[in-house]
């Protein structure tokens, strides 16, 4: 993989220069904005999308609320697992960052000293996006769109090759989909147990006033009060 990056006559490097070359024709403030969005902003946006989806699921309630929340819990967990899987992949491939092998790139962020393949940012965002898609199609499509934008930003910033991004998309998708069945098998009963809890159940669905009244267990009446009721009845 590193040997491929050393040649400027392959589509991967050509596309890198084409996308990163846009940074040279845009205002400085725009490049700074893209750098912030690509480094931090889209990761925060993914978190907000997950919270937005959770709020929607909780508000709607229904019998499938627990399984839906289980899917939302799985989405960030899938991202974390995918990043862990990427650790040995990076160590095995050992692909240098593109700006180390190619001249003339506009690098918008500094301090990138680790290996390039695969992109952690692309892996995280796509894993969350696909995890959301399994639970909710509308929010999942939004998450996948944000992941695509993240991949573009990483190449625009000059810190990843396009194939680094594609590899991250593939890794995040594979982890989110392949491990989803066993993860849901474990998480769904846990979320159902949380749903049955009088206090923690609000994390699964919004409680109405009627639900709160039903959750109150009446205190047992004392023997003296029962005798008093019998005397009044007599």
Domains of the chain with CATH codes:
2-208 (1.20.144)
CA distance to 9, 23, 53, 111, 217, per residue, from 13 (Å)? 7, 16, 38, 21, 68
CA distance to 40, 46, 147, 157, 164, per residue, from 33 (Å)? 10, 17, 17, 11, 22
Q: Is the pLDDT of residue 3 over 50?
A: no
For the stretch 5-59, pLDDT in tens is 444 468 889 999 999 988 878 888 999 999 999 999 999 999 999 999 998 988 8
Question: Per-residue confidence at 212, pLDDT binned at 50, 70, 90?
Answer: very low
For the stretch 145-179, pLDDT in tens is 999 999 999 999 999 999 999 999 999 999 999 99
Token pair, residue 61, equals 């309630």
What predicted TM-score, i.e. pTM, was given to this entire model? 0.82
Asked if 154 and 20 count as a contact pair (C-beta separation under 8 A), the reply is: no
Q: What is the model's pLDDT at position 111?
A: 82
């Amino acid at each position: 993989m590193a040997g491929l990056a050393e040649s400027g006559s392959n589509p991967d490097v050509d596309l890198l220069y084409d996308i990163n070359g846009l940074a040279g024709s845009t205002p400085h403030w725009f490049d700074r904005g893209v750098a912030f969005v690509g480094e931090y902003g889209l990761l925060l946006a993914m978190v907000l999308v997950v919270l937005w989806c959770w709020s929607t699921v909780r508000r709607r309630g229904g019998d499938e609320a627990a399984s839906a929340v289980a899917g939302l819990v799985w989405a960030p967990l899938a991202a974390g697992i995918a990043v862990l899987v990427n650790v040995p992949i990076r160590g095995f491939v050992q692909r240098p960052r593109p700006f180390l092998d190619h001249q003339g790139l506009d690098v918008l962020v500094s301090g990138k000293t680790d290996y390039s393949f695969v992109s952690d940012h692309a892996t995280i965002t796509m894993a969350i996006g696909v995890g959301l898609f399994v639970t909710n199609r509308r929010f999942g499509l939004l998450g996948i769109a944000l992941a695509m934008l993240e991949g573009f930003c990483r190449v625009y910033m000059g810190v990843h090759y396009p194939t680094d991004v594609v590899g991250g998309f593939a890794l995040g998708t594979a982890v989110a989909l392949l491990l989803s069945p066993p993860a849901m098998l474990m998480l769904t009963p846990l979320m159902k147990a949380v749903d049955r809890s009088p206090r923690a159940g609000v994390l699964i669905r919004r409680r109405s006033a009627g639900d709160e009244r039903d959750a109150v267990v009446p205190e047992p009446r004392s023997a003296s009060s029962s005798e008093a009721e019998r005397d009044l009845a007599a």
